[in-house]
Amino acid sequence: MPSEEEQMSKALVRIFENVVLTEEKSLQAGYFKDLSIAEMHTLTAIGPYEARTMTNTAEDLGITTGTLTVAIDRLVKKGYVHRERDKRDKRIVRISLTHTGKLACRMHSKFQRVLAKHILAGYDEKDRKHLINLVDEIDKYVEQQLKRYDSSENIRATASQVAQDAIKEKN
């Protein structure tokens, strides 16, 4: 019989993998089938409102600006992102979503809300609140662990390589 830690570990990995696979399949079956899940997450990081700098967006995604540049090049070609140099400081590049990019971002957000709604639907109010608190605690713990490793360039290099591999697979 597996230990509680093994059960939890396997469940967390399955949840992560299944959420990512569900997102990917949802994209492939929908209007935005030309987007990879990594590209959709890039659109989400840019956000539907104000233009953002490449540097801030790369930091939010945990990747280098070089890796983000490759992704943004593809998203510009596909018509999801607009890129321009800052009018006052030409060294700064600002990116924003096009109308189509905003639509994709909203649809992905709706997908995530529907997923959460269905997960919570089987619980009464007390259990929903308890589940949300448990998930928040897991999220905080994982975030703390990430911050511990964040100072290590090895983690950033690994994240960058994963992003680059995902981009290569799309081609």
* This prediction's pTM: 0.74
Q: How many structural domains are present in the chain? A: 2
Q: What is the pLDDT of residues 72-113, one digit of tens each?
A: 999 999 999 999 998 888 889 999 999 999 999 999 999 889
pLDDT: which is higher, 45 or 168: 45
**Are 71 and 36 contacting, i.e. CB atoms less than 8 angstroms apart?**
no
Domain hosting 19: range is 4-121
Task: Choose from 14-18, 60-64, 124-128 the range with maximum mean pLDDT.
Answer: 124-128
Confidence label for 3 from pLDDT (cuts 50, 70 and 90): very high
The verdict on 97 and 162 lying in the same domain is no
Distances in Å between the Cα of 18 and the Cα atoms of 75, 124, 139, 157 are 25, 25, 17, 25
pLDDT in the model for residue 86:
86
Residues 116 and 151 in one domain: no
| pLDDT per residue as tens digits for the range 37-58 | 889 999 999 999 999 999 999 9
Same domain for 145 and 78: no
Backbone angles phi, psi at 53, to 5 degrees: -80, 155
Do both 129 and 112 map to the same domain?
A: no
